[in-house]
Amino acid sequence: MITVIKKKGNQQPFDPDKIKTSIINAGNDGGIVISSKEAELMTHDVKKNIVALRGEDGVTSSYEVRELIKVALKNFGFPQIVEFYERGKLHDTADIRRHLAAIEQHRKALEDLTEGNLTDVKKHKEMEVGEDLKKSEDPSEPEDDYEFADLRTEIYKSKDH
C-alpha cells in the first residue's frame, strides 16, 4: 500500500477516489466536463507513476502526487485544467461564479415575491434622510433648532477660541 505524507506531516494511505474527485473538480472549475472514465484513467496513470517511482509499498508526498496529477492532465489533453488544479481552493473562480449565480437567483426570487417592486436600498435611505430634513425644517418647532444652535455656540466659545 502506498503512503502519502501530507503537507502538515501526517500520513494517509493513497486514496484513488480523492485523486479522481480532485481531477473532476478541477475540470468543473475550468468549465470543462471531465468524465468519470477519463478521471479514472488519469488516476490510474498517477498511481502507476507513483508505483514506478516509489514501489508498491512506497512513501510519497502530497506535493509529488499533485505534480503527477498535473502531468496526467497534460498527457490526457487537459493542459488548460492544470491552472485551475494548481489554484485549488485558494482562488476558486468557480466558487465565485456559483455565489454570483446564487445571488442573482435570490434577487429574482425576491423580485417575483414582491411582484417586481424591489426597492433600491440606497435610494430608500436617501429618501428617509430627505424626509428627516424636511421634518427638521418644520416651522412648528423652530425653537428646538435654535436651542441646539445656541448650545453649540456656548460650547465653542468656552473652548478658548
Q: Please state, in angstroms and rounded to a whole number, the distance separating the CA atoms of residues 40 and 152.
A: 77
Encode 30-64: b = buried (16+ Cβ within 10 Å), e = exposed.
beeebeeebbbebbebbbebbeeebeeeeebeeeb
Q: Which residue's C-alpha cell is 496513470?
A: 45
Mark whether 30 and 83 lie in a shared domain.
yes
Report the 10 Å Cβ neighbour count for 76. Answer: 16
Edge-to-edge strand ranges of the sheet holding 3-5: 11-13, 3-5, 59-61
- pTM, full prediction: 0.54
Mark whether 50 and 27 lie in a shared domain.
yes
Mark whether 155 and 98 lie in a shared domain.
no
pLDDT, residue 90, reads 47
Report mean pLDDT in 10-residue bins for the chain, 161 residues: 92 96 89 94 97 95 94 93 73 64 80 66 51 51 51 58 50
Grid coordinates representing 35 are 468524465
Mark whether 53 and 11 lie in a shared domain.
yes
DSSP three-state, residue 78: coil
Q: How many domains does the chain have?
A: 3
Q: How far is CA 71 from CA 40, 42, 79, 145, in A?
A: 15, 9, 9, 75
Q: Pick from 58, 63, 26: which is nearest to 42 by CA?
A: 26
Mark whether 83 and 102 lie in a shared domain.
no
